[in-house]
Structure 1
Amino acid sequence: MKSIYTRIDNLGKENRNTVFKIISKKILDDFSNGIFLSQEDLAFSCHCSKATITSFSKAALVSGYRELQIRLKIEFENNFILKVSNNTMNEKQVLFDEKNKILNKWIDEVGTSLCKFFKELKNNKIFIFSSYQTEYSTIFLEDVLLKNNIDNKFIKIERDILSITNIDINQNNFLFIFSGRDNNILKKVFEHVIKYTNNIAIIASLNWKDYLSGNKNNVYYFDNENFEKTFIDRNFELIHLWKYIDFLMN
């Protein structure tokens, strides 16, 4: 069965009636823009009577202009809107794939270097300090390191801060993760640790770059340009990073 669009198009091409050609062209031009004029407005635009519009509609094998208009709207919704929706989904998929490529590049660069740091740990033990924002993903790092026979302890600032007094800083290794806000205590712990050792790796957001610019330790920055600074994005990046490090260490 021919679509109503095709019937209208054929009426414009095959009919000798000049008015029908004008009506056909007007309806199809409006259709492409999602416009559906009333019978009165269409007759006015085509300089003809409403009766002529009715005759045109019946020539398109429908009962009248009202049915023709309804069928046109259905075809528009089923074809043009679906196509726009599909294009939007395709654009989202392309964007998602591009994000994954960027993430994988960041993971490869940071993960390869961090893996080397972990493999060369002094005394094979590391203490981990994280901002509150990235505590969730840091728990996974504990598991990855234990799985690969690396002794480690994740010290939660708000709960275990006093335990740092029992650490022989000079004989151990440290990983600091700076992200989000409220890092004053974490910053003080870092400044205390760095007085005694350089066996430190740091993952930080770019707003720490000036503060860490003179640091001689391994410093890795989050990708602020392509990813948001939110809880979800930061932990998503880190969990993928830990999994890649696990892959490299096996």
Structure 2
Amino acid sequence: MTSVFEKIEIMSKDFEDTTFKLIAKKILENTKKGKFYNQEELASQTFVSISTLTKFSKKLGFSGYREFIFTIKNEWSKYDWEKSKKVDTAEVVDSIQSWISQNEDFINQLVEKLKTAEIINIYSSQQSFDCSKYLANLLIENGKNAILLNNEYRYKERKTPANGVNLVVLTGRDNDTLVDNFSKSYDPNVANFLIVTEKQENKIELDFTNKLLINFEQDNSRLDTRIVALNLLFFTISNKL
């Protein structure tokens, strides 16, 4: 299910400077500060009418602004609580190691394809970009032709040779450009692997050679635990090459 924040982020990136885009950007700006304004206050901030905010809320699938602001407050509160609560380091590491062991089939299949790949394209979300860069460097050290693609911008279709490998790492909310870039370059005859979070799984409806779900027990969308998980996973993959 797409989160409210994700819907707002998509609307805030509209190519045209619409009124709804202006409202979406202001809401994101406010929520980053933990601020939630009533309909009259937000209307004043964005120089629009109250009825326009009602239409904006309905565009997002709500009955009106009251339901919209109630939902976004709850989503933000849950997100903020999960980010701020303390975690036990040993429990997190044990959880990640167990998750890696449970996905040994995915790892082994990916490794076999990487061994003979002419080129390895890594499509990474912004949240996981540094981890993907770490993987790319490990692959290069192993003599592989690995390319970490910059998905901040949309680009034309990218051809992958028959014995190439595409690896998509899909985490975080801000990845619509990544999905668009990969979808344009998708070739079902090439080895395509997906590493994805549960919340982002429905964003890319393509057939993959294999898929790994980021669902270790201690995962709560925190950036720090995700970094540890992905780096340990990529280290494991590199060690098998």
TM-score normalised to structure 2 length: 0.55
Structure 2: 5+ residue runs without aligned partners? 1-85
Q: Which runs of 4+ in 1 moved over 6 A?
A: none
Could you tell me whether the CA contact under 8 Å between 1:198 and 1:216 is conserved in 2?
no
Q: 1:238 aligns with which of 221, 230, 235?
A: 230
- Larger deviation, residues 112-121 vs 123-132: 112-121
Q: How far is the alpha carbon of 1:135 from its aligned partner?
A: 0.5
Task: Say whether residues 1:217 and 2:209 are aligned partners.
Answer: yes
Q: How far off is 1:222 after superposition?
A: 0.8
Provide, for residues 161-203 of structure 1, a one-character-per-residue CA deviation record: whole Å limited to 9, x for no partner: 53x5453455522000111012111111222233453411100
Would the alpha carbon gap of residues 111 and 144 (structure 1) be closer, same or farther in structure 2, given more than 3 Å must change?
farther
Give % identity: 18
Provide the aligned C-alpha RMSD in A: 2.8
Query: Match of 2:195?
Result: 203
SS at match of 2:103: helix
Cα displacement string for residues 40-91 of structure 1 (whole angstroms, at most 9, x for unaligned residues): xxxxxxxxxxxxxxxxxxxxxxxxxxxxxxxxxxxxxxxxxxxxxxxxxxxx
Rounded Cα–Cα distance in structure 2 between residues aligned with 1:224 and 1:107 = 9
Please give the alpha-carbon distance, in whole angstroms, between the structure 1 residues aligned to 2:206 and 2:135.
27
Q: Which runs of 5+ in 1 are unaligned?
A: 1-91
Report matched runs for 1:1-250 at 5 Å.
95-110=88-103, 113-121=106-114, 123-158=117-152, 161-162=154-155, 165=157, 167-168=159-160, 170=162, 172-211=164-203, 215-223=207-215, 225-249=217-241
User: Which protein has greater RCO, CA pairs closer than 8 Å, 6+ apart?
Assistant: 2
C-alpha separation in 2, matches of 1:215 and 1:168: 16
C-alpha contact (below 8 Å) 2:123/2:151 kept by paired residues = yes
Residue type at the aligned position of 1:177: V
SS in 2 for 1:154: strand
2:63 is matched with none
Per-residue deviation, 1:213 = 7.0
Is this contact kept in 2: 1:169–1:193, CA < 8 A? Answer: no
The 1:211/1:177 distance shift into structure 2, 3 A limit, reads same
- Give distance in 1, aligned partners of 2:223 and 2:216: 13
User: Which is greater in Rg?
Assistant: 1
Give 1:133 shift. Answer: 0.5
Q: Aligned residues, how many?
A: 155
| AA at the equivalent of 1:238 | L
CA contact (8 A) 1:169 1:197 kept: no
Q: 2:143 is matched by which residue type in structure 1? A: N
Q: CA distance change for structure 1 residues 211 and 169 in 2, over 3 Å: closer, same or farther?
A: farther
What is the identity, as a one-letter code, of the residue corresponding to 2:181? V
C-alpha separation between the residues in 2 aligned to 1:224 and 1:207? 13
